[in-house]
Amino acid sequence: MDQSHGAKPFRFATEFAVVPPRQRGDMHATALEVAALRAELEALRSDHAVELAKARSEGYMEALAQMRAEREQAMLAALDALHAEWEEFTDTRDAMMELLREEAGALSLSIAEALAARALSDAPGEAIDQSIGRVLGQVARGQEVTVSVHPDLAEDIETRIAKRQAGDRRKLNLVVLADEALTPGDAHLRWEMGGLRLEAEARRQAVIEELVSMGIV
């Protein structure tokens, strides 16, 4: 069916609304506003970065300060412990040194006593014979000198006197007497104008003092 007879022809609009062109001054103002907004945004960003860096720095410094404080506290605690250990070591060392000195002194005395006793026991008549020689140098020729000793030493002293007489052209007037009241090693020398008493204990002490003074013990 042909409908061309009833259709109306389409007419295009021939009039349009005209938008007035933006003035040059308005465009310039807009550009300034945009620039200002950008500048403000950049400022805000910069401030934010500064604040963020400041916050980070403050946090770091606080953490660093705390770490330093903890380290110093640990060092102080370690120093206190070390000081306490050193004091304990010093006290122990002093006590040990004092004990060693006491033991060394006691040991030295024991050694000296042992050496002195050994010297007297090895030749108990030696000191008596030496004393006889000194007395003979002081008394008149031919004067009688009695030598009292313990019976265990009588034979030894007589033998020593015989050897002394063999080496002396003068007649020695020496008489050996056995006296059980005397301690072995002791002797009592008598002559007309005097006398001399020898004690083994005194000689022992003399030997000890001599050994100590010489630094042997």
CB of 197 within 8 A of CB of 175?
no
Taking alpha carbons only, the member of 33, 211, 5, 12 closest to residue 112 is: 211
The per-residue pLDDT for range 47-71, each reduced to its tens digit, is 777 777 777 777 777 777 788 888 8
Average pLDDT, the chain: 76
Distance in angstroms (rounded) separating the CA atoms of residues 135 and 169: 17
Return the structure tokens found at 185. Answer: 């090693």
pTM of the model: 0.43
Residue 166 corresponds to which tokens in the numbers above? 């063999």
Task: Indicate whether 112 pLDDT > 70.
Answer: no
In whole angstroms, give the CA distance from residue 28 to residue 133.
Answer: 144
- Judged against a pLDDT cut of 50, whether residue 78 lies above it is answered with yes
User: If you average pLDDT over residues 103-132, what whole number do you get?
Assistant: 66
The string of pLDDT tens digits covering residues 200-215 is 777 677 766 766 676 6
Query: Which of 30-39, 110-119, 143-152, 196-205 has the lowest average pLDDT?
Result: 110-119
pLDDT for the residue numbered 154: 93
Q: How far apart are CA 74 and CA 104, in angstroms?
A: 44
Q: In angstroms, rounded to a whole number, what is the distance separating the alpha carbons of residues 189 and 196?
A: 5
Both tokens of 15, joined, read: 């009039």
The alpha carbon of residue 104 and the mean position of all alpha carbons in its chain are separated, in whole angstroms, by 20
Overall average pLDDT of the 116-121 stretch: 56
What pLDDT, on a 0 to 100 scale, did the predictor assign at position 152? 92
End-to-end CA, the chain: 156
Q: How confident is the model at residue 156 (pLDDT cuts 50, 70, 90)?
A: very high
- Residue 173 token pair: 């007037």
Pick the more confident residue, 134 or 104. Answer: 134
Provide the pLDDT for residue 151.
94
Residue 70 in tokens: 């903890």
pLDDT surpasses 90 at 185: no
| Residue given tokens 């910069």 in the structure block | 46
Residue 203's closest CA among 131, 111, 109, 110? 131
